[in-house]
Structure 1
Amino acid sequence: MASSILPGTGLGSGVDIQSIVKVLVTADTGAKANQIKRQTANNTAMISGVASLKSALSVYQAAMKTLNDKNAPAFNAYAATSSDDKIIKATANNGAVAGSYVVNVTQLATSSKVASQVFLEGPTKAIPAGDLTIEQNGVVHTVTIGSDATLESVRDTINSQLGDKGISANIVNEDGGSRLVFSSTTTGEGSDISVGGDIAELEILAETKMAGSGAGYIDQQAKSAQLTVDGLPVTSKTNTIDSAISGLTLNLVDAKSATITIGANNEGLKASVQKFVDAYNTLVKTVASLTATSKDADDNVVLGALTGDPTSRSLLADLRTQLATVGSGDQLTTLGQLGINTLKDGTLEFSAAKFTAAMDNKKLGGDVQELFTGTNGVFERMNAAINPYLETGGILDTRNANLSKTQKGLGDQQLAIDQRIESLTASLTKRYVAMDTLVGKLEAQRNNIISMFDAIEAQQKNS
């Protein structure tokens, strides 16, 4: 509301005009103003609550994504350990079998690295226009070099066009000149790079070793990894091998020997289940705090940002349905079999003793992954329930849009009531000032009449 200067006590009447006007304006607008204030505060809290709910859901979904990471499985029934991770790193999946294997790496897989002839002029050497044909593993990539090119611009063009294919180029400045050097992320025998095309100066033959100022491969051609598993020979084009031992992935780091041991992953499974329970409970507690009621120091009821909000109730109901849904496994079909149960407040409790019994006595380790990450598993069902709330234009976006619309409407009402207060204040003040002026004039006339009669009375006494 715009401020205005109100007169205080009327000079003519002695009436407190400001207080009277304030009381009258409040009587006219106070109820509506207070209603708008309450509604604005509640609506602002709900907007904040929806944002908090959306954030909590995103955190819960991110936790499930981490537990469902295909590159770092969290629910494997078996765990693989290496006697030396600096030589071999090992990861087991549910297809593994308990046992121990001696793996001797005699050669790591390497990639191709080839260099052009030496250019005495250095990186700014002018390169004629034409097409370069860069071949690897039978695949030919054509890179067109435009006019006014230099060795540097050729490098940049190659990186721009072939970087996403694992082929890159750089310039190495050696004593006496510069070379264009090609590298690749592709490893294994037969993956050597060759360069041909219209620019003879940049031709590189994959089978020729670099010598003197000539072009060729540097040091050695690309090689495949060579190793033995318990004495049995294995060859791989890459240093990541997932077919040598059933259910086991080997990441070769150094050409030495290490022992790989595979055993039950009960502790790892328990830790992963606990992480899921913790993530779910964090979400439920957040929703509970947003929808709770409490009392302040004066015993007044304090509502949460989303108390009574149907969206929150609907969300929790959807999630609880997924917890109770029976899975499609053979032996393990419910969370209760793993010691996970729902408490009265909606959170989950996890019985480590019941989980251990399920692993040791019922041998359910191999089924845990299927229950959580399999088709129609816990994570898939949970994400299906959450997505309608989180997706763009979904339930929470729509809820927020409606609240924002309401907020704008309340803002418009506030502006209107402010204008009403300002207008009414000005109008009433004008009337009371006019009244005060009239009273002042009447009072002046009264005083004049009294003075006149006093003068007449004085004359009569003196005559």
Structure 2
Amino acid sequence: MAGITGIGSGIDIDSIVKASVAAERAPKDAQLARLTTKTTTQITSLGSFKSALSEFQTAADGLNDASLFGTRKASSSDATRLTASAEKTALTGTYRVEVEQLASASKIASGSLTGDSNLAFASGGKLTIGLGADSFDVDVAAGATLKEVRDAINTQLNEKGISANIISDPANGTSQLVLSSNKTGAGNDLTLAASGADLQGLVTNRPAALSEAQNAKFKIDGLSLESATNAVSGAIEGVTFTLVKAEEGVSTTLTVGENTTAVKDSLKKFVDAYNKLITTTNSLTSFTKVGESGEPLTGALLGDSTVRNVLNGLRSELSNTAAGQGGDPFRALADLGITTQKDGKLAIDDTKLTAALEDNFDAVGSFITGDNGLMNRLSDRVDGYVKSGGVLEQRISGLQKTDADIKEQKADLETRVAAIQARLYSQYNAMDSLIGQLTRTSDSLGSALSNLPGVVRERS
């Protein structure tokens, strides 16, 4: 508002100017609001479509992996006795494994010393700890305590697989140093020697070994074998199994086969991604009539040719049997038990899929993977739309430019409206001033005329 208005004429100039400005901007405001809503909705909708399409391509590319069909899976009939894993070089087969003895490591104790962990060795010396064919020296400084000896062993020999602890007998006030190894297998026993008068008590009157190092003993299909560790590799090519519990006369079945679980999981991810794509496109292209005569609610991409072309291409590949060869057991996804439902989504017949994988695992891989495989063809169908600089990115970029242009038009409208408002205020204020002047002139003339001689004043 340009100051105080309407004084001269008594006219409500503010209301007149505001109404005139509102009438001037209303059509353009409405047009730009509609364009903004339409543009932003399309940008969001195309972004959602691109995201679902990219997720689908990722799932397809994940299945288009020959190594997925080259892996092997090893399973145990009793994981409390035996666990196993297999490399892709492993051959399929079934084995009977009997665990007779687990591999163990050595553990020894020193002689008993009178005192607790703070017992000190006045003159010090050297401890020599053997582990199989190796030996290691630990220097003991004069005045070092039993606790400090333990800590020195743990610090210096930890990486060698040797650790120490102190066991104290509160009844008779004695303590012993206990040495443990993590190296299993026969011949890997611990030994303890000492030099220095005060340290001799550690090696005098030592008890028998608390635990001897020994090999694991087991049978595979009746063949007796041994291993220095409980993790056995090399006994069956490409298979590593871990012995967990020994029990003579009890066999565990070890099965090596194709990794059908991994393939089924990847196929499920693919189906889920496709179904999500269908759900997304259905929402974006929906048409819903509200009431008998109400305005219909339509998706932002209803009738969109891009969406239509993508879905038609994917459906064509899913039902296409031309790519299969005469001798192939699988020529369409339906042959694996994955079929299209009435709502356009995919469903898995687990029984049929399991049978296909168990009976023709390699053939499933040939059908799905490779340059001419189904997953590669599906990925190629969408690549031109989702890649950087692809169709969808270009469309979104174009809409973003349109949105920027709308913002510029809104700014221009504000400038134009401000100019119109200023012009109207100027015009109405000029009129108001003129009316004020004329009124004052009229009043002055009336007063002068009324004072002229001979003028008869009307009695009130």
User: Which category of TM-score, normalised to the shorter sequence, fits these structures?
Assistant: 0.5 to 0.7
Instruction: Report the counterpart of residue 447 of structure 1 in structure 2.
Output: 443
Q: Is residue 63–residue 375 contact of structure 2 (8 Å, CA) maintained in 1?
A: no
Amino acid at match of 1:244: I
Following superposition of structure 1 onto structure 2, how do residues 187-266 of structure 1 map, counting pairs within 5 Å? Answer: 229-232=220-223, 244=236, 249-252=239-242, 254=244, 258-261=252-255
> Structure 1 pair 322/230, CA: closer, same or farther in 2 (3 Å)?
same
Per-residue displacement from partner, 1:263-304 (whole Å, max 9, x unpaired)? 899899777655533331111111221233435678223343
Per-residue displacement from partner, 1:86-120 (whole Å, max 9, x unpaired)? 62234698996575543659788x9xxx9997699
Q: Is residue 331–residue 367 contact of structure 2 (8 Å, CA) maintained in 1?
A: yes
Instruction: Report the counterpart of residue 194 of structure 1 in structure 2.
Output: none
SS in structure 2 of the partner of residue 175 of structure 1: helix
How far did residue 398 of structure 1 move? 3.1
Q: Is residue 225–residue 239 contact of structure 1 (8 Å, CA) maintained in 2?
A: no
Q: 1:24 aligns with which of 20, 26, 43?
A: 20
How far did residue 40 of structure 1 move? 1.8
**Aligned equivalents of 1:78, 1:342: Cα separation in 2:** 30
Per-residue displacement from partner, 1:39-68 (whole Å, max 9, x unpaired)? 222222222223322332343345456666
Following superposition of structure 1 onto structure 2, how do residues 71-90 of structure 1 map, counting pairs within 5 Å? Answer: 73=68, 80-84=75-79, 87-90=82-85
Instruction: Report the counterpart of residue 318 of structure 1 in structure 2.
Output: 313
Instruction: Report the counterpart of residue 397 of structure 1 in structure 2.
Output: 393
Instruction: Report the counterpart of residue 183 of structure 2 in structure 1.
Output: none
> Structure 1 pair 17/277, CA: closer, same or farther in 2 (3 Å)?
same
Q: 2:434 aligns with which of 429, 438, 442?
A: 438
**Aligned equivalents of 2:234, 2:422: Cα separation in 1:** 85
How far did residue 430 of structure 1 move? 1.5
> Structure 1 pair 335/176, CA: closer, same or farther in 2 (3 Å)?
closer
SS in structure 1 of the partner of residue 344 of structure 2: coil
Amino acid at match of 1:83: D
> Structure 1 pair 179/98, CA: closer, same or farther in 2 (3 Å)?
closer
**Aligned equivalents of 1:412, 1:447: Cα separation in 2:** 52
Q: Does 1:410 align with 2:392?
A: no
Per-residue displacement from partner, 1:136-159 (whole Å, max 9, x unpaired)? xxxxxxxxxxxxxxxxxxxxxxxx
**Aligned equivalents of 2:160, 2:33: Cα separation in 1:** 67
Q: Is residue 85–residue 241 contact of structure 2 (8 Å, CA) maintained in 1?
A: yes
Q: Is residue 62–residue 266 contact of structure 2 (8 Å, CA) maintained in 1?
A: no
Following superposition of structure 1 onto structure 2, how do residues 59-138 of structure 1 map, counting pairs within 5 Å? Answer: 59-64=55-60, 73=68, 80-84=75-79, 87-90=82-85, 99=94, 101-102=96-97
Q: Does 1:44 align with 2:40?
A: yes
How far did residue 334 of structure 1 move? 0.7
**Aligned equivalents of 2:233, 2:153: Cα separation in 1:** 42
Q: Is residue 281–residue 307 contact of structure 2 (8 Å, CA) maintained in 1?
A: yes
Q: 1:342 aligns with which of 336, 340, 345?
A: 340
Amino acid at match of 2:221: D
**Aligned equivalents of 1:57, 1:225: Cα separation in 2:** 54
How far did residue 406 of structure 1 move? 2.4
**Aligned equivalents of 2:136, 2:408: Cα separation in 1:** 72
**Aligned equivalents of 1:390, 1:428: Cα separation in 2:** 53
> Structure 1 pair 178/262, CA: closer, same or farther in 2 (3 Å)?
closer
How far did residue 374 of structure 1 move? 4.8
How far did residue 338 of structure 1 move? 3.0
> Structure 1 pair 411/461, CA: closer, same or farther in 2 (3 Å)?
closer
Amino acid at match of 2:236: A
SS in structure 2 of the partner of residue 410 of structure 1: helix
> Structure 1 pair 293/79, CA: closer, same or farther in 2 (3 Å)?
farther
Higher deviation after alignment, 260-269 or 430-439:
260-269
Instruction: Report the counterpart of residue 286 of structure 2 in structure 1.
Output: 292
How far did residue 431 of structure 1 move? 1.4
Per-residue displacement from partner, 1:417-459 (whole Å, max 9, x unpaired)? 1111112211222211211221222222223333434444984
Instruction: Report the counterpart of residue 126 of structure 1 in structure 2.
Output: none
SS in structure 2 of the partner of residue 341 of structure 1: strand
Q: Is residue 226–residue 235 contact of structure 1 (8 Å, CA) maintained in 2?
A: yes
Instruction: Report the counterpart of residue 330 of structure 1 in structure 2.
Output: 328
Question: Paired residues, what number?
Answer: 377
Per-residue displacement from partner, 1:63-96 (whole Å, max 9, x unpaired)? 456666788x589999845321662234698996
> Structure 1 pair 180/352, CA: closer, same or farther in 2 (3 Å)?
closer
**Aligned equivalents of 2:228, 2:63: Cα separation in 1:** 30
How far did residue 324 of structure 1 move? 3.0
**Aligned equivalents of 2:229, 2:219: Cα separation in 1:** 15
**Aligned equivalents of 2:153, 2:259: Cα separation in 1:** 59
TM-score of the superposition, structure 2-length normalised?
A: 0.61
Q: Is residue 104–residue 229 contact of structure 1 (8 Å, CA) maintained in 2?
A: no
> Structure 1 pair 461/427, CA: closer, same or farther in 2 (3 Å)?
closer
Q: Is residue 88–residue 251 contact of structure 1 (8 Å, CA) maintained in 2?
A: yes
Q: Is residue 76–residue 265 contact of structure 1 (8 Å, CA) maintained in 2?
A: yes
TM-score of the superposition, structure 1-length normalised?
A: 0.61
> Structure 1 pair 179/355, CA: closer, same or farther in 2 (3 Å)?
closer
Larger Rg: 2
Following superposition of structure 1 onto structure 2, how do residues 276-291 of structure 1 map, counting pairs within 5 Å? Answer: 276-291=270-285
How far did residue 236 of structure 1 move? 12
Amino acid at match of 2:271: V
The alignment's C-alpha RMSD in Å is 5.3
Q: Is residue 78–residue 94 contact of structure 1 (8 Å, CA) maintained in 2?
A: no
Amino acid at match of 1:175: A
Higher deviation after alignment, 315-324 or 451-460:
451-460
How far did residue 322 of structure 1 move? 3.0
SS in structure 2 of the partner of residue 438 of structure 1: helix
Q: Is residue 78–residue 98 contact of structure 1 (8 Å, CA) maintained in 2?
A: no
Structure 1 residue runs without a partner (length 5+): 122-172, 185-206, 214-223
